[in-house]
Amino acid sequence: MKAGLVSISLRQLSPRKIVDLVSECGLSGIEWGGDVHVPHGNTAIAQEVAHITKDAGLMVASYGSYYRFAECDVDAQEGGPSMMEVVETAEALGAPAIRVWAGQRGPDQTSEAVWDAIVRRTVKLADEAFKRGIRIDFEFHENTLTETVASTCRLLEEIIHPTVRTLWQPPLLTSPSDRLAGLRGVKQWISNIHCNHFDQNSWPDILELQEGTEEWSKYLNELKELSPDRWIMIEHVKNHSADQLRKDASALVNWLNAEDK
């Protein structure tokens, strides 16, 4: 797998500074966030960020959008980017994938009508993205339809689209053994990995990545069975610190090098 950074880990830095830092850390690519660094619908900025990323010898790993299928749920919060704004921005960025969120509620709080609407809307989004050579990846996150392994598998089985997958990250408020079991359960659908380390406390109690070496070694061993054309990207950095990213990147690169031996 290739090592990268999710840009929202350091929202306070400009795209140029993030590119310089990622290069310094020996990472290979960036998932650019749609809230600050590459705003939804601003294709000019997307093209500029694509240019500085490529010029630094880095790859655009994904476009981290905040599209949540709000139009599928009459009770959802209004606002947010439109589907076509997200697709067109990802295309201008040269992103091979778009991260989206499967609604704004967990599966137990989502009606069957909204669930079905998200399935239909995802297929439409995936078809539009596919025309541009772009994949769709769901954020694996609470308060969405990908809150659990079971709901994630159900959603993807109902969508049945060859370019729709899910990201994975260790869920908060769960034990390492439950996280590993969950990874096994959703493994067939995984695209890229968001890498961070929390204990069983929740946000914002992020820990140094090195402290998660034992836990992550089990995840990486499980992921060996998948094809290697995937990104594992640092998401969330303690204190939003550039110095901490340097340490976390060193840990991640060392893990991947050890896996290759």
Q: pTM value?
A: 0.96
C-alpha closest to that of 99 among 203, 223, 233, 248:
233
Mean pLDDT of 51-67: 98
Q: What is the pLDDT of residues 202-231, one digit of tens each?
A: 677 899 999 999 999 999 999 988 888 899
21: its two tokens: 């830092």
DSSP string, 4-57: EEEGGGGTTS-HHHHHHHHHHHT--EEEEETTTTS-TT-HHHHHHHHHHHHHTT
Per the DSSP assignment, residues forming a β-bridge with 63 are: 32, 98
pLDDT of 141 strictly over 90: yes
Q: Is the pLDDT of residue 104 over 70?
A: yes
27-36, 47-56, 208-217, 221-230: least confident range: 221-230
Question: Residue 79: which domain range?
Answer: 2-260
pLDDT digits over 243-256, tens only? 999 999 999 999 99
Q: Per the omega criterion (within 30 degrees of 0), is the bond before 228 cis? A: no
pLDDT in tens, 152-164: 999 999 999 999 9
Domain count, the chain: 1
- Per residue in 166-177, pLDDT (tens digit) is 999 999 888 999
Task: Assign 260 a pLDDT band (cuts: 50, 70, 90).
Answer: confident
- Provide the CATH number for the domain around residue 95: 3.20.20.150
Backbone angles phi, psi at 157, to 5 degrees: -70, -30
pLDDT computed for residue 199 by the predictor: 79
Would you state the pLDDT for residue 78? 66
**Average pLDDT of the residues in 17-42:** 98
- Could you tell me the pLDDT band of residue 13, with boundaries at 50, 70 and 90? very high
Ramachandran quadrant class, 96 (left: phi over 0; alpha: psi -120 to 50; beta: rest): alpha
Mean pLDDT of the chain: 95
Tell me the pLDDT band of 49, cut-offs 50, 70 and 90: very high
